[in-house]
């Protein structure tokens, strides 16, 4: 066994110089980076403080130090985007500090669901408006208020596409995906005989 | 290798008597048995012809013979029910014929979808009837015609439960699951201004 190890030290580049073995690197440290749709829409800078072991000047002992890593979030980043800081893990004699990788996770949004570069907005309207038309207010991620007229008959599968009101495209953030307006139609709970007669005249004649 | 084989013949029960090795049995032959919901509702007898190799009287040679296997399908059998015929596979010297296993697969039915012991029936009705009431005809698996009154307001999630009109329960085929009547509501494609006025009076006032 000793012989093997000696052989190893001769072959590998750093083995013989710095100590008892070859320089090794642990697998990356992977952490989630939770971002809101607003962060992913506008882009932003996220600063993350890490505590890491840093080698002292003697090259043998180490001290815990805080460090700020800065992530430039680009407009249009998707869930799953990975950002790697090379060799920002703990330092120590005979180790290559591991990489630190952040993986983008989208936070749930109170109004929108993102699908690729599109945003889905679900609104509940009463059946009467679904049949006779209505306007839907949607507050965008950049704070504008859209007032979208719905003139078509809205059935449960109807979806209004509002072009260019989705997420920015990563390749060109001036271009955007679409807003998809979906409807939850609220049926009446009860109807008087008179109202049923009106409905029969409107829908069954 | 020869020595190993000889050793084996001494240890295993049949090895020394009938030839060069121990009696072995191959894994079961598994075949799908496709049954209609009617078959599974009433129960039935399925006869399946198999061709198998049968040992001749000399105990060494064999001949292909047809054989009829008979399966008594019980009312209420589910998809995945397994029926095994033991040792009905090919015969031969020094082999235990393999078992033959049939696995029940439900054929798609033109009217019903089965979920456990319940049957789901989807019917399309115009919105006018969904709001003002209707009757739905359903032909049962045993050929009766149900005429089911719908007096509730039918919204897209509404489901009418008709007790006892589902599949027979395996434990007691006199008892049955339920029929679940689901609705696909057909919205009008266009409405005149006059009809929209009637709808507003009926639904938005």
Task: Report pLDDT digits (tens) over A65-107.
Answer: 999 999 999 999 999 999 999 999 999 888 899 999 999 999 9
| Mean pLDDT estimate for chain B | 90
Q: Two tokens at B42? A: 């009433």
Reference B117, options B148, B73, B79, B85; nearest CA is: B79
User: Sign of torsion, CA B78 B82 B85 B86?
Assistant: negative
User: Which SS3 state, helix, strand or coil, does residue B51 take?
Assistant: strand
CB contacts, 8 Å: B133 with chain A: 196
Q: Two tokens at B130? A: 């969904």
Which positions in chain B have a beta carbon within 8 angstroms of at least one beta carbon in chain A? 126-133, 153-156, 185, 187-191, 195-196, 198-204
How large is the average pLDDT for residues B32-46? 97
In whole angstroms, what is the distance from residue B203 CA to residue B127 CA? 13
pLDDT class of B114 with cuts at 50, 70, 90: very high
Which positions in chain A have a beta carbon within 8 angstroms of at least one beta carbon in chain B? 126-133, 153-156, 185, 187-191, 195-196, 198-204
Residues whose CB falls within 8 Å of the CB of residue B59, separated by 6 or more in sequence, listed in order: B93
In chain A, the number of structural domains is 2
Gyration radius (Cα) of chain B, Å: 29
Nearest C-alpha of chain B: how many angstroms from A133?
A: 9
Give the relative orientation of helices B193-203 and A193-203 as an angle to the nearest 10 degrees.
160
Q: Are residues B152 and B84 in the same domain?
A: no
The model's pTM is 0.76
| Best residue of B125, B191, B203, B204 to probe chain A, by most A CBs closer than 10 Å | B203
Residue B203 placed within a domain = no
CATH code: domain of residue A89:
2.60.260.20
- Give the pLDDT of residue B95: 87
Nearest to B131 among A132, A133, A199 (CB): A199
Residue A10 placed within a domain = no
- Give the pLDDT of residue A95: 87
Q: What is the pLDDT of residues A161-203, one digit of tens each?
A: 999 999 999 999 999 999 999 999 999 999 999 999 999 999 9
ipTM above 0.85, yes or no: no
A150 and A123 Cβ atoms separated by less than 8 Å: no
Q: What is the largest CA-CA distance in chain B?
A: 99
- Give the pLDDT of residue A94: 84
Among B84, B106, B128, the domain-final residue is B106
Domain that holds residue B162: 112-188
Q: Are residues B132 and B99 in the same domain?
A: no
């Amino acid at each position: 066994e000793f012989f093997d190890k000696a052989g190893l030290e001769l072959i590998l580049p750093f083995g013989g110089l710095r100590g008892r073995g070859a320089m090794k690197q642990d697998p990356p440290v992977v952490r989630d980076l939770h971002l809101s749709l607003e962060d992913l829409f506008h882009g932003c800078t996220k600063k993350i403080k890490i505590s890491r072991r840093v080698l002292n000047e003697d090259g043998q002992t180490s001290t815990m130090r805080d460090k700020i890593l800065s992530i430039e979030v680009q407009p249009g980043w998707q869930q799953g985007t990975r950002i790697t800081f090379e060799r920002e893990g703990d330092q120590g004699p005979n180790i290559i500090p591991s990489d630190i990788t952040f993986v983008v996770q989208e936070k749930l949004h109170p109004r929108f669901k993102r699908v690729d570069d599109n945003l889905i907005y679900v609104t509940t309207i009463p059946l009467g408006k679904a049949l006779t038309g209505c306007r839907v207010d949607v507050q965008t991620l950049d704070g504008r208020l859209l007032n979208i007229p719905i003139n078509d008959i809205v059935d449960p599968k109807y979806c209004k596409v509002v072009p260019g009101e989705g997420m920015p495209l990563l390749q060109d953030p001036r271009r955007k995906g679409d807003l998809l307006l979906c409807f939850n139609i609220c049926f009446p709970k009860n109807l008087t005989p008179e109202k049923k007669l009106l409905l029969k005249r409107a829908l069954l004649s």
